[in-house]
Structure 1
Amino acid sequence: MLGLVVVGAIVGLAGRQMHPAGRVVSLPAALVLGMLGALGAFYGGRAAHLFTDGQLSGWTAAILGAAVLVGVWGVARPRR
């Protein structure tokens, strides 16, 4: 679980830096959204029996979940 949180935070930061509209997601939001996306995608995939512990597809789902959640937040959040 700690590995998922760390991976989610790293992907959240990377997503914040690479967003095409600039840094539209704050640093704390990027960290939290990355962590939640990674945990949600990993445990959601396990609950759906798509993969088990130790499979590479679990880590792939965690990375994609974190990136998608940060990206969607950056697009859906109203501009100030």
Structure 2
Amino acid sequence: MVGILVVGALVGLTGRQLHPVGRRVVGWRVAPLLGAVGAALAFYGGQALRWFIDGQMIGWGAAILGAALLTALWGLVFRRG
């Protein structure tokens, strides 16, 4: 669980850095939180839907993808000017 949250937080921070500087709407405090939540939702949601089981590497891929998607979605929904 802790590993998923740490990876999600790092992906969230990386996603924040990929937004153009003038249009960044994802703050330093929100980015790791979004990443961690997205990673946890994708990881445990995939297990609940039986797309993969605990211990499969695809779970980590789902966590990374979930963190990136939630951070990107936040940036798209709450755009600046």
Distance 2:28 2:64 in 1: 18
Deviation at 1:43?
A: 0.3
Fraction of identical pairs, as percent: 56
How does the TM-score come out when normalised to structure 1? 0.93
How does the TM-score come out when normalised to structure 2? 0.91
Distance 2:10 2:55 in 1: 20
CA RMSD after TM alignment: 1.2
2:68 is aligned to 67
2:12 is aligned to 12
2:52 is aligned to 51
Structure 1 portions without partners, runs of 5+: none
CA contact (8 A) 2:25 2:79 kept: no
Deviation at 1:54?
A: 1.0
